[in-house]
Amino acid sequence: MERIFITLIIASLGGLVGVKLKIPAGAMIGAMIFVAVYNIWSSKGFIPENFKIAAQVLVGGMLGLNFTMDTLYGLKQMLIPALVMILGLIVLSILLGFVISKTTGMDLLTSLFSSAPGGLTEMILTSEAYGADTSKVAVLHLIRLISVITVLPLVIKGFIRYIHG
């Protein structure tokens, strides 16, 4: 019980630091980094399986809150673009997963989850449920998230400026 309590306190402190520093998804990223450092240093980090299930329920509930009647009304015009986007992302993610696996020696399951589109939390929880190496999935998604948040807005701004002269 003490290990759980200490792990949760460290996670809470990390989450607070992440939020205070205004890091995107700061609560989760801060908690993850703090607990990772603690666990690397001590090997005493522990969160029971039922806590992980509770976290999945909370994330599922939070995602469900994004759907409203307006979302349903807008589905008709979004259906074709969404299907094209989903198909394209899945194909590219699978190809990228194979490339990562072949070039790094990482197991294919972990490589596929590491290259899959999706939110950091959702992909970590899903990859864990399927038995992938969640630490590798988390690191690669964290790198992707930070890169997309810092680089993509600049690329989009430059692209829009180029298109509109």
DSSP code of 23?
A: -
Q: Output the six-digit token pair for 120.
A: 């950091």
Q: How far is CA 38 from the centre of its chain?
A: 21
Burial track 85-104 (b if 16+ CB lie within 10 A, e otherwise)? eeeeeeeebeeebeebbeee
Query: Given a cut of 90, is residue 149 above it in pLDDT?
Result: no
Average confidence (pLDDT) over 31-60: 91
Please give the C-alpha separations between residue 31 and each of 1, 10, 46, 53, 116, in angstroms, as whole numbers. 19, 7, 13, 17, 23
Average confidence (pLDDT) over 8-35: 92
Average pLDDT, the chain: 92
Query: Given a cut of 90, is residue 126 above it in pLDDT?
Result: yes
Please give the C-alpha separations between residue 108 and each of 2, 81, 95, 120, in angstroms, as whole numbers. 36, 29, 11, 19
Average confidence (pLDDT) over 11-22: 95
d(C-alpha 93, C-alpha 89), whole Å? 6
Predicted confidence at residue 24, as pLDDT, reads 75
Nearest to 137 by CA among 150, 148, 126, 151: 126
Predicted confidence at residue 29, as pLDDT, reads 85
pTM: 0.64
Predicted confidence at residue 142, as pLDDT, reads 87
Predicted confidence at residue 13, as pLDDT, reads 98
Average confidence (pLDDT) over 145-151: 82
Q: What percent of the chain has pLDDT over 70?
A: 100
